[in-house]
């Protein structure tokens, strides 16, 4: 009996040992998972047809209100978004919807400077045929080619800026010094000369439009202004 009692005690002790709480096995320290930030992807832009229609005062579906630091902009001329302008090359890659539409208009030449009375001399002919020397006094005026431009908020189609983009702006001294330059020529032998610089081109438009992209605007959308 004593032997059986001892065996029973041993069995109970073994069972209790089996129920004891075991220390957890050592777990390796967890490593922080680093994931690369996704590259921003361009958003869907309004259709070109809708943006072009913005120049006629129509609201552009899918366009954004003016806001933020950068104002996505497109340039429209003669009913198209022409890739001639570098700013239009990024049209599909803006990260936010277009906010502004630059609408180009007609060119005109305006007088910008009266250089006063000047004297010019020139020679024609060669040593073989005989040289003829001319001398004339007259008045010199400088003119500049300017292209009309309006800016509309794409979301509303409302005009917020009316302005002009100027071409080459000559100086009186430059014209007199560059008389032999084929791009700056006195015309005829009159006593009044009107000299025009090179016309406004894509580079002038891009420079003007890129300044608009980072221009600070009042919020909400500003009223129409002349600039």
What is the per-residue pLDDT across 23-76, written as a single tens digit (0 to 9) for each? Answer: 455 555 555 555 444 545 667 889 999 999 999 999 999 999 999 899 999 999
Pairing verdict, β 225-226 and 159-166: parallel
Cα dihedral across residues 220, 221, 225, 227: positive or negative: positive
pLDDT tens for 122-181 read 666 666 666 666 666 788 899 999 999 999 999 999 999 999 999 999 998 888 776 555
Instruction: Give which of 6, 212, 199 is closest to 103, Cα–Cα.
Output: 212
Structure pTM?
Answer: 0.69
Instruction: Give which of 110, 98, 68 is closest to 216, Cα–Cα.
Output: 68
Does a cis peptide bond (omega within 30 degrees of 0) precede residue 220? yes
């Amino acid at each position: 009996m004593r032997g059986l009692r001892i065996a029973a005690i041993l069995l109970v002790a073994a069972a209790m040992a089996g129920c004891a709480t075991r220390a957890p096995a050592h777990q390796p320290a967890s490593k922080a998972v680093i994931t690369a930030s996704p590259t921003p992807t361009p958003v869907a832009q309004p259709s070109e047809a809708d943006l072009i229609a913005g120049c006629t005062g129509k609201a552009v579906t899918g366009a954004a209100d003016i806001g933020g630091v950068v104002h996505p902009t497109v340039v429209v001329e003669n009913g198209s978004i022409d890739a001639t302008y570098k700013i239009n090359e990024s049209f599909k890659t803006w990260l936010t919807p277009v906010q502004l539409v630059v609408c180009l208009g007609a060119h005109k030449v305006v007088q910008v400077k009266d250089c006063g009375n000047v004297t010019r001399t020139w020679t024609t002919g060669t040593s073989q045929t005989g040289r003829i020397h001319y001398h004339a006094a007259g008045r010199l005026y400088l003119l500049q080619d300017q292209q009309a431009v309006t800016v509309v908020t794409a979301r509303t189609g409302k005009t917020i800026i009316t302005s002009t983009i100027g071409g080459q702006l000559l100086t009186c001294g430059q014209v007199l010094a560059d008389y032999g330059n084929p791009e700056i020529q006195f015309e005829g032998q009159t006593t009044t000369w009107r000299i025009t610089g090179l016309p406004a081109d894509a580079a002038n438009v891009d420079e003007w439009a890129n300044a608009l992209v980072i221009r600070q605007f009042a919020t909400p959308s500003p009223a129409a202004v002349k600039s």
